[in-house]
Chains A and B, each alone.
Chain A
Amino acid sequence: MADLKPGDAIPELRVTPDKYLPHRYAGASGDFNPIHIDREFAESVGLPSNILHGLYSMGVVAKAAAQGLAHGDPRALKKLTVQFRGMGLPEQEIEVTGTVKEVDGNRVTVDLEARQGDNRIIRNAVAELEV
Chain B
Amino acid sequence: MALKTDAVGKSWPSTTYQVGREKIKEYATVLGIENPVHFDVGAARDAGFRDVVAPPMFAVVYSLAALAPAMFDPEVGMNFATMVHGGQTFEWGEPACSGDEITTTARCVSIEEKLGNGFYVFETTSVNGAGAEVVRGTWTNIVRGV
Contact = CB atoms under 8 A, between A and B. Distances in A.
Q: Is the interface of B mostly helix, strand, loop or mixed?
A: mixed
A30 interface: yes
A80 B90 contact: yes
Contacts of A74: 35, 37-38, 53-56, 95
A60 interface: yes
B95 A82 contact: no
Interface stretch (A1-9, A19-27, A97-105, A106-114): A19-27
Interface stretch (B4-12, B25-33, B106-114, B124-132): B25-33
Interface residues of B, number: 34
Contact of A54 (B88, B90, B92): B88
Contacts of B35: 71-74
A55 B57 contact: yes
Contacts of A31: 60, 64
A1 to B, nearest CB: 17
Contacts of B54: 74
A96 interface: no
Contacts of B23: 28
Given A74-B37, A74-B53, A28 B26 contact: yes
Given A55-B57, A62-B55, A75 B95 contact: yes
Contacts of B88: 54-55, 58, 81-82, 84
B91 interface: yes
A11 interface: no
Given A55-B88, A83-B87, A28 B55 contact: no
Contacts of A54: 85, 88
A31 B27 CA distance: 12
A58 B91 CA distance: 14
Contacts of A15: 32
Contact of B92 (A29, A73, A78): A78
B89 A29 contact: no
